[in-house]
A and B are shown apart, each in its own frame.
Chain A
Amino acid sequence: MSVVADLKNSRALLVNLTLREVRGKYKRTLLGQGWSLLNPVATLLIYSLVFGFVLRVPVPVGNPSGVALFPLYLACGLLPWTFFSNALTGGMNALLGNANLLRKVYFWRPTLVFSSTFSWNVTFGIELLVLIVAMLVVGAMPLPWIPLLVVAVVLLTVFVLGLGLLLSVANVYFRDTQHFVGIGMQLWFYATPIVYPYSLIQDQAARMRADGNDFPLEFLYRLNPMERFVSVFRAMLYDNTWPAWQDLAFCVAAAAISLVVGIAVFNRTQHRLVEEL
């Protein structure tokens, strides 16, 4: 496939652009790269306070890890989500934000989306390491799952890359895209079991069945690829067990479809890209 060849050819550029993103992100701030950790920690604290302390969301007990701490349960879902959300937004704006470059130099255009996403991978990697250490401190054992965790990160990256490619060109042709995506991401966040456990949805579905309502709530809920990704990450990090193979298969399929569609749309629409910037 020519995409693989293109990717290989622009390897050096990809590395340099990614470094530019990573270095440029927190340049001139006092805390520098510290912000990449402080931001999620702050979010974690706020959500823990609101959903764990005020709203009293039930804290699932890790099986077999035995951990029952809401902030950690939250972190296992929030970190993959934050990566997804940042990478998607970054990828979406990658072409418009580099309009000047695109108008003046030819290079393989998807490189911009790739490098933006990969720069968030760096942040995500650091966050995951800190989370693993935190899990170890409270007595869980996520270490054996690290190889599979890497696979899950790769799958999530591929999934968000496809969407990023799609949205990056959409955003060039229709500038409304970014605003729609902003709203969509809020909806998507609450449609994914991050600040609450999936068991609450199961309870709701059971109540609806008892009332004779046969709305397929659980089926629809589980069509959300991010729900599957969060489940996979939680199984390994929080529960320290194998993720359900159906979830993993769903993630593989979602990533593959997303990438194929993303590349196809990008290739079909990119020929007038520079004029429309």
Chain B
Amino acid sequence: MSATPAVEIDGVSKRFRLYRERNQSLKAALMRGGRASYDEYWALKDVSFEIAEGSTFALIGENGSGKSTLLKCIARILEPEKGSIRTHGSVAALLELGSGFHPELSGRENVFLNGSILGMSKRELERKFDEIVHFAGIEPFIDQPVKNYSSGMYMRLGFSVAINVDPEILLVDEVLAVGDAAFQDKCMEKFVEFREAGKTVVIVSHAMGSMRTLCDQAAWLDKGTLVEVGRADTIVDRYVDKEHGKDVGTGPATTGSSRIGSGEALLTDVAVLDRNGRPATRFRTGDPVTIRMGYECSERVERPAFALALDTVAGMRVWAHHTRDGGPDIPFIEGTGHIDLVVPHLALQPHTYDLSARILDHTLTHTYDFVRHCFRFVVETGDVRESGGVVALGGRWRADLSSLPSEAAV
């Protein structure tokens, strides 16, 4: 890490005016004596940190946390009310691709126009022109007006121009998801190239998975204030833990669940218990948990079966299980009671999950009661940390070092 940071952010506060009645007409201005009535909204509150030169830096936070505002302040598009931002080196911002394209002009003319908006000289553009067009992959259409381009072509050309500006500090806002898979790979390659050339990249994104691996440093913003700065992986993990299930709500479902069944036996309560037998909604990977299904019968029900299923909030079926597979053969149920499923290690990666429960007859063809998504819980990072996906297999790496070529042998 070099001694001088690429970006120094010192006590930055940014205020927006939320007009109750916009003062955009002279009449309104004159009637109020030039004072428009507005509410103040501080999008950033006294944020200070440094971005080291050569680092790939992530700004994370939920919507409205001020991360895009901060990025725009670094890009000088917005001016902070208080504090200062010093940048060392040329800055280019990728806030929107193809902004400044003139629809009636050809791709060729727009490359020169857009390039100069981003600060490239004519000679530089002439030198890089072929590379830009090749990278975007639109050689046959370069002399067509860009209004005839597909949105993908438009974005690719915009990205290609921007990435070829070759600044010392690159600011990127949510543009990683551009184009098809092949083009995304090309973009990733460019970012890595950038990083290897010792340049600084500042990224705002919600794609936590790629942020965790792509970035080495991160700052976490919440409602305009800085929560934490540090290593990207630890900050992203903490952020993901805190944010999961925050807005969707956890515990027994109040809405969104659906229920069907003949009703001789009804599910009264479905809960997940922690290691102390207490109902909880937040667990860690590897925790022992117990899933308890309470029931109530209006009549004696012969040979029932109980079933559970687990989905991610995104709707992916993760797991399902019923008592006919390895469970006790229950002769009958009557009145009220409960049945438990004991899970010694919760082999799930951090996510939010929905539980569905069902009571069936022993042939599994008749449903007494089925409640879809009746309980929601969150899994946070535990001792077992695996890199991606939904399940935590708990695998351990082992390398037979003696079989690898040692330095002495080379």
A contact residues vs B (CB 8 Å cutoff): 12-13, 15-17, 19-20, 23-24, 27-28, 98, 100-107, 173-177, 180, 271-272, 274-275
Contact = CB atoms under 8 A, between A and B. Distances in A.
Interface stretch (B21-29, B273-281, B319-327): B21-29
A187 B118 CA distance: 41
B117 A105 contact: yes
Interface in B71-121: 72, 75-79, 91, 93, 95-96, 99-100, 102, 104-105, 109, 112-113, 116-121
15 contacts: A12-B116, A15-B122, A17-B117, A19-B109, A19-B113, A20-B102, A24-B102, A104-B95, A104-B96, A105-B117, A107-B119, A176-B27, A177-B26, A274-B78, A275-B17
Contacts of A105: 75, 77, 93, 95, 99-100, 117-118
A104 B77 contact: yes
Given A23-B104, A174-B24, 20 more contacts: A15-B116, A15-B122, A16-B112, A19-B109, A20-B109, A20-B113, A101-B99, A101-B100, A101-B117, A104-B95, A104-B96, A105-B95, A106-B75, A106-B77, A107-B119, A174-B25, A176-B25, A176-B26, A176-B27, A275-B16
Contact of A23 (B25, B109, B122): B109
A221 B156 CA distance: 57
Nearest to A172: B24
A96 B8 CA distance: 32
Contacts of B95: 103-105
Contacts of A274: 72, 77-78
A107 B117 contact: yes
Contacts, number: 87
Contact of B24 (A17, A100, A173): A173
A17 B101 CA distance: 11
A16 B116 contact: yes
Contacts of B102: 20, 24
Contact of A271 (B72, B79, B91, B105): B79
Given A101-B100, A104-B77, A12 B93 contact: no
Among all A-B residue pairs, the 4 with the closest Cβ atoms: A104-B99, A27-B104, A106-B76, A16-B116
B105 A20 contact: yes
Contact of B26 (A19, A104, A180, A271): A180
Contacts of B118: 105
B37 to A, nearest CB: 15
B208 to A, nearest CB: 25
B99 A100 contact: yes
A78 to B, nearest CB: 29
Contacts of A12: 116, 120-122
Nearest to B118: A105
Nearest to B95: A104
Contacts of B104: 23-24, 27-28
A13 B117 contact: yes
Interface in B114-159: 116-122
B206 to A, nearest CB: 19
A82 B99 CA distance: 31
A16 B113 contact: yes
A23 B95 CA distance: 26
A271 B77 CA distance: 9
Contacts of A15: 116, 122
A12 to B, nearest CB: 5
